[in-house]
Amino acid sequence: MKRLTSFFLLSVLLVLTASAQLDRSQRPQPGPAPVIQLGEFESFTMNNGMQVIVVENRNVPVVSFQLTLDIDPVLEGNAKGYVDFAGNLMREGTTTRTKEDIDEAVDFIGANLSTFSTGMFASSLTRHKDVLLDLMADVLLNPVFPEEELNRRITQARSGLQTIKTDGGSIVRNVSMTQVYGYDHPYGEITTEETLDNITVDLLKDYYNTYFKPNVAYMVIVGDIDVATAREVMDKYFGQWERGEVPTHTYPTPHPPAGRRVAFAERMGASQSTVAITYPVVLTPGHEDAIKVSVMNSILGGGVFSGRLMQNLREDKGYTYGARSNISTDRLVGRFSAQTEVRNSVTDSTVVEILYEMDRLINEPVEEETLQLVKNFMNGSFARSLESPRTIANFALNISRYNLPDDYYATYLAKLAAVTTEDVKAMANKYLKPENAIIVVAGNKDEVPETLTRFSASGEVEIFDAFGRPWVAPELAEVPSDITIETVLNKYYEAIGGKENFARMENMTQVMKTSMMGMEITITSYQKAPDKIRVETAMGGNVMSTQLFDGQRAVVTSPMGTQEFTEGPEFEMMKMQAIMNLEMNYQDYGIQKNLEGIENIDGQNAYKVEVVSPQGQKTYEYYAVDSGLKIRTESEQGGAKISNYKPVEVGGEVEKPGFFARLFGKKAKQETITLLFPHRIEQQVGPQMLDMEIVEIKIDSEMEESKFQL
């Protein structure tokens, strides 16, 4: 099955896998800051306290309604995740409509309706606004939070959590949030399997009943509607929404560490490290420094390709495809982060370069040409944003929520134009803290941590798990003295039908079905002893890609063309995967297997076996202690749960008669043997968990040699 899933991953990547040229020979010339004519908006407050903002736009007959709750973040404790579930499940049924009723009504008028923990959004053609608002009001005022839907969402969330352990970006995010904000801050809470266990419908209802009140709500209406009509429909559909007291919350403000820290989390078997340098920043929306800080960050590594991190780490060093930085504003506390992904061998060098660029901004004035280039880019981005009426609505919402000056956005470009090189240096000195940062790395535990100790003020690298918790070595029970790696593997071979019976196989065909992004995918694998394989990936009945190894060469065809390999990592990978019954003859090909201990996997004890390839790559296999069957694998690409073993009978009457049989025109008989194959694999592919079903397995069927020719 490892062979099949490896080819599946390659197949999916192949199947799913003109920019304008700028004249950089001319230096951009600064011009006067344009006068901003912001679009018109009107606002009013309803009797129940809900504030309504209306942006009229008659260009198209469409209207949208966005409800936003202005509330403090909630500390969820040991049930982290329930707030998001509360928002999502509001749409899944009301006292008068089922989920199906809501879906059908929304689809019938071609509308959109979504809910979230701090509000909801809906849009439709103007002529359907009353139908839409009736649905919206019902969902807002009468949700029932169906328990069966909550259980389904929790199950989905559990599957999603399994993908995090090999996703460097998710790991770094989790560790960053817990270490920057702390475990007792709502921004530092992370959803885990343990917190999912504590989520109940009562928690969802309590959150809704406590915080969904009109006196802390804003309704932003944009589109083909005037303020008089807006008043009328708001009173009609939301006038009965009753105000109530909403609790407020305060939390300790996180501060950067006194000295630099290094936080590491394992990304199993990874050949690359995800690197972030981060710390908390007190910078509220609309702060007098906000525009200057944005300019400074853009120079360091914001949204322009000319950012120094990009130029250094990509263009100069060739360490990465991209490197970015960001400084977020937030009413409670924001965060600085500079992040990239690089190969393991240059992880420490990457940290050096990021810190160097931060120090350079602190100590050296920025070139005037660089400053002007960034300001021109930001000027254009702001101007383009004004083309959307929703931008005007969001400006109005921000002014109200954060008590900004009425002309804050109208004077934005003038403030941007006024930023000087001295301002940039001042902001770098105030907000860049290379000596008080947390360096967060997700990478290979065997290669990376020891290279990072020199960056830590304490000389120590702190180890965390994928969810930002202090790392604790898994509890591996000691293996009895009479159990060896050979004992474990031989029990597995016997459990699936015997090594000697698998050795008789001359060819095998497997057909697997799954779905991705709503599309059914069929993977058909043809394999012939000793070392030929062909894997076809089809969508909608059409073969989209083919991977072939004919014993000497590897060939890959896809919509992007044909590639042939006679050496290199792709060639070696396909060569190994093509070997019939590789796992039963691993020692012949330089593969090492080591028995590490006994671990509990999905409720059953399993032998944990480390597998080391000839190239030094590590994976892990788990064999159930009781049955001997392989039940799970873990690799850099992700984990795979293996189950639903079913018998496949091989033998009986075959087209291979002996001499006397041929003499008398008879078919030879072979003893029927039974082999066990798994028929279900839950495989991680990137951020997704795919449920794959093996629907057909044929052993020693007729297979033409032409199958392994393109």
pLDDT at 570: 81
What domains does the chain contain, in order, with CATH numbers? 2-15+474-640 (2.50.20), 46-238 (3.30.830.10), 253-376+405-464 (3.30.830.10)
- In this model, does residue 197 exceed pLDDT 70? yes
Name the least confident of 38-42, 443-447, 586-590: 38-42
pLDDT band of 4, cuts 50, 70, 90: very low
- In this model, does residue 425 exceed pLDDT 70? yes
How does the average pLDDT of the chain come out, rounded? Answer: 88
Q: Are strands 438-443 and 519-528 parallel, antiparallel or unpaired?
A: unpaired
Give pairs for 32-40: CB < 8 Å, separation 24+.
32/417, 33/413, 33/414, 33/416, 33/417, 33/418, 34/383, 34/413, 36/386, 36/409, 36/410, 36/411, 36/412, 36/413, 38/386, 38/392, 38/395, 38/409, 38/410, 39/386, 39/389, 39/392, 40/392
Place of tokens 């008043």: 231
Summarize pLDDT for 34-77 with one digit per residue, the tens: 556 566 789 999 999 999 999 998 889 999 999 999 999 999 99
With CA atoms as reference, report the closest residue to 378 among 418, 343, 406, 351: 418
> What is the b/e burial string over 513-547, where b = at least 16 CB atoms within 10 angstroms of the residue's CB?
bbeeeeeebbbbbbbbeebbbbbbbbbeeeebbbb
Ramachandran region of residue 469, left (φ > 0), alpha (ψ -120 to 50) or beta?
Answer: beta
- In this model, does residue 80 exceed pLDDT 90? yes
* Token duo for residue 225: 């509607």
More confident residue, 465 or 670: 465
Name the least confident of 34-48, 323-337, 507-521, 614-628: 34-48
* Token duo for residue 200: 């109940």
Please state, for a pLDDT cut of 70, what percent of the chain lies above it: 91
- What is the pLDDT averaged over residues 363-372? 94
* Token duo for residue 581: 């019954």
Distance CA 16, CA 544 (A): 10
User: How many CB atoms sit inside 10 A of residue 77's CB?
Assistant: 12
SS (H, E, C) 416-476: HHCCCHHHHHHHHHHHCCHHHCEEEEEECCCCCHHHCHHHCCCCCCEEECCCCCECCCCCC
- What is the pLDDT averaged over residues 360-380? 92
Summarize pLDDT for 202-244 with one digit per residue, the tens: 999 999 999 999 999 999 999 999 999 999 999 999 999 999 9
Whether pTM > 0.85 for this model: the answer is: no
- What is the pLDDT averaged over residues 81-90? 96
